[in-house]
Chains A and B, each alone.
Chain A
Amino acid sequence: MALSTHTTTTGFLLPSIHSAPPFFTQQVHAASLSTATEHWIQIILKYARHRKLFTIKVQDCEAPGNDWDEVLRNERINRKLLPSYLSYILGQMVSQKLAAYDPPKQDRSVLIYWRLPEEWAEVLHEWATSTGQLNTILTFYEITDPPVESPLSGIPVTLLRQAISILSKTNRAQIIGIAEGEGVRFFPSMGKS
């Protein structure tokens, strides 16, 4: 079989293994299974970063017409990832702390940590510093949907809350209750300025 890489319409470079039909089936042989699952996790994380996707659901592989079509199915070899296998992969991701079930207490949908919450905290603080918004109160909406495109655009509130709580542990942010809901105030970090 001619395995070759493939560039999707969104410019994502799929690995050559993505065109191997067995890749889409849950393998029985343990070593094969772990290898394949590792590759799948890589693909999902990289594609999520590429498209800035934050969630993936098991049913995303069942019906076409969502953000994950390009990776979860391969029209060229007529294969798609099976839901049972995707569910297994997501479970692996959660156990490796590369994702978290969101909402919790179910296993059909996960929040993908293509950046870890700690990394997000740094990104958040950097953004606040660079845009000169230290010591001002910001609503969550202002962060997730800023007028100027930012690395944080579209970040789920769950993830944002985690990042802020990490920052608040080092006294770099503070949750403030305001009339419209909740807000946050960032402080300059100790080391800098």
Chain B
Amino acid sequence: MALARFTKPVDGTIPVQALLYADEELLSSQDAVGIYDGLQKSPEHQVGIVHVTTQRLLYIDASRKARSRSFALDLAHVSRTDHYAGLFTSSPKVTLHLSADDSSVGGGGVERSDRETGVESGFETWECEVCAFRNPPGLSPSASRICGLCGVPRSSAPTNIQPSSSTVGTTSSSLASSVSTSALPTPRNRESIACPACTFLNHPSMKKCEICDTPLPRIAPAVSASSAENGTTKSAPATRPATPGIDEGAMMIKLSFRKGGDKPFYTALKRSLKGQAWEINNPLNRLLPNANANDTGAGVRSGISGIMHAVETRAQTRDTHMSDALQDLEALMVKAKDMVRLAAELNERLTVATAATSTAAPTAASASASEPEEATFIRSSLTQLGLQMENTPVTLDMMKDERRWIEELARELAGVLQGSPGSGSGSGGGLMSHRGLIALDEVWGGWNRARGVALVPPSTLLLVVPHLPAYTDPPIKSLVLPSEMRALHTPEYEPKVFGERVVRRMRLKSTTTTEIAQREGVGIALAEEMVSLIEREGGLSRDDGRYGDSDSVGFGGGEVRWWANVFVGYIWDGQA
């Protein structure tokens, strides 16, 4: 009785894995299990393998009649379980108390009607009416009842195959309603809900307008009409006993574990029941009680907001994964610190060891000669690994190394600037071989372009620049211009020399910044900086060159003209 009511036949010749839904997972299996239908042994199901999954309990008969005797039981029907450890000759048993409560089961009516019509609704593709998403087959009944993309319940399924259960009917109302005035061209004349704010015709299962989020009115007559119609088309609930208490035996199934293995199986079963995978995958069950209880919108998982929510959830998961990964990285960094410390210790020990051997054992000349080599090898390989000891105090050793490094860089930069005398690869000299003044940003760019790999950060460039005069001939020095811009210059371009030269050249006439830039071979921006530097020092005096409002345009092009400082040493020679 209970078996006939709650189970569905499955083809036992098919391997279990193939029987599972796409979102179902096999948890545990046990062979040599007999089934009691109610209190009585079910003679057809005495030797078989029982599998428990996240959704179902599968019995695969071990006899040759596996095709007809195997069945599946939805765990959603299970209301309570008992475990009997067994005594003497009686085997350990697990009792499953079944319940036909529709509101918690959700899919009960559907599956029954499926079985009646002989259609396995889980194994077909269907297209969502709202978002036109083609849902794949193989999902469990609860999961396949809503669209996988937008979360809207599958209301448009052929009504003769899937009449909605009463819970579904309150919102999805899959049946035609005569009062509908919807102008939708779809053949199924459904009850769309017009938004009171924007008049958008919403899908009947929406609680809020898909466009403007305004709460939608519930159309009471339509719902009652559809549910009434549902009641007529749906045969299963009408024939069902209303309460489970009528027949004790009719509402339970026992599994008898003839060869043991009951305990792990029972644990798996409990876990599966607790997990309630069918509930999670069935948003209708979540949606509907919420719709009555509170309108906070917590249950809204359909329409645009549903899609948005799905995207959000996905982003959150990605976020979690990312932070997990980063945590790994941090752990790695912690480890790296350990390695650095190890390296430092190794370094120290090596220093001590070499000192000891060189002082204590002059006889072992060969050994002491080879050891420093090893030490340097280890040290160099440590640095190559990037294990620079940043957190340890800077030692004299490192200082020496860094200074040498900077000095080497300075030498290299000198080569870039003035052209390397040794290599002479036909490059035609360096950046500054024909120019006396060059902005530091250009130097940086040029240097890194010359290096190609292992680029030098600006901070390092600033460290290197002070060392330049020692490696350049003529010495190249740096200079901070009035706008805080930095530049490198040869001695001829020192501001004082530059200014004197500019003044000497113009002598009895004025000049402009452009002319200075052209004559000195520097960029206009740099020339402007230099000129304003000289002006600040009082080497030049400016002349805006404006005579009158009318002829200001024609004269001097509006550019400031520069004169030697006429005010220095001037003695009044006008009217006494």
Contact = CB atoms under 8 A, between A and B. Distances in A.
Contacts of B576: 13, 46
A46 B575 contact: yes
A24 B543 contact: yes
A17 B566 contact: yes
Contact of B546 (A3, A15, A42, A82): A82
B570 interface: yes
Nearest to B565: A32
Given A1-B508, A20-B563, A25 B575 contact: no
A22 interface: yes
Contacts of A42: 572, 574
Interface stretch (B173-181, B269-277, B448-456, B533-541): B533-541
B565 A29 contact: yes
Interface in A134-189: none
Contacts of B548: 80
A79 B541 contact: no
Interface string A9-33: 0001111111011111101110110
Contacts of A29: 535-538, 541, 565
Given A28-B536, A29-B565, A80-B547, A5 B573 contact: yes
Interface string B245-268: 000000000000000000000000
A50 interface: yes
Which A-B residue pairs are the 5 nearest by beta carbons? A15-B574, A22-B541, A35-B567, A21-B543, A13-B575
Contacts of B572: 15, 39, 42
Given A28-B535, A32-B541, A18 B563 contact: no
Contacts of B538: 29, 31-32
Contact of B573 (A16, A24, A28, A35): A16
B535 A21 contact: no
Given A25-B542, A27-B541, A36 B567 contact: yes
A112 B548 CA distance: 25
A43 interface: yes
Nearest to A15: B574
Nearest to A85: B544
A3 B566 contact: yes
B541 A82 contact: no
B472 interface: no
A190 interface: no
A22 B566 contact: yes
A27 B567 CA distance: 10
A30 to B, nearest CB: 8
Contacts of A62: 549
Interface of A: 1-3, 5, 12-18, 20-25, 27-29, 31-32, 35-36, 39, 42-43, 46-47, 50, 62, 73, 78-80, 82
Nearest to A20: B566
A78 B556 CA distance: 11
B237 interface: no
B510 interface: yes
Contacts of B551: 78
B566 A23 contact: yes
B510 A21 contact: yes
Nearest to B563: A22
Contact of B543 (A13, A17, A22, A47): A22
Contact of A25 (B543, B565, B568): B543
Contact of A14 (B508, B545, B574): B574
Contacts of B574: 5, 13-18, 42-43, 46
Contacts of B133: none
A62 B538 CA distance: 28
B555 to A, nearest CB: 7
B561 interface: yes
B519 interface: no
B530 to A, nearest CB: 14
A1 B541 CA distance: 13
Contacts of A14: 574-575
A79 B551 CA distance: 11
B68 to A, nearest CB: 106
Contact of A21 (B508, B561, B568, B570): B561
A65 to B, nearest CB: 12
B375 to A, nearest CB: 61
Nearest to A2: B508
A177 to B, nearest CB: 42
A102 B236 CA distance: 109
A5 to B, nearest CB: 6
A17 B566 CA distance: 8
B567 A17 contact: yes
Contacts of B573: 5, 15-17
Nearest to B551: A78
Contact of A50 (B547, B561, B575): B575
Contacts of A13: 574-576
A154 to B, nearest CB: 20
Nearest to A29: B538
B509 interface: yes
A165 to B, nearest CB: 31
A13 B574 CA distance: 5
A78 B563 contact: no
12 contacts: A1-B509, A14-B574, A18-B574, A21-B561, A25-B542, A25-B544, A27-B541, A28-B536, A28-B542, A31-B567, A39-B567, A43-B574
Nearest to B542: A25
Nearest to A75: B547
Nearest to A30: B538
B554 to A, nearest CB: 10
Given A22-B543, A80-B546, 7 more contacts: A15-B575, A23-B566, A29-B537, A46-B576, A50-B575, A62-B549, A73-B547
A31 B566 CA distance: 12
A21 B572 CA distance: 16
B560 to A, nearest CB: 8
Nearest to B570: A17
A140 B344 CA distance: 99
Contacts of B510: 1, 21
Contacts of A73: 547
Contacts of B509: 1
A14 B575 CA distance: 6
A23 to B, nearest CB: 7
Which of B508, B532, B536, B566 is most buried by chain A, counting CB atoms within 10 A of its CB? B566
A27 B543 CA distance: 8
Interface string B385-410: 00000000000000000000000000
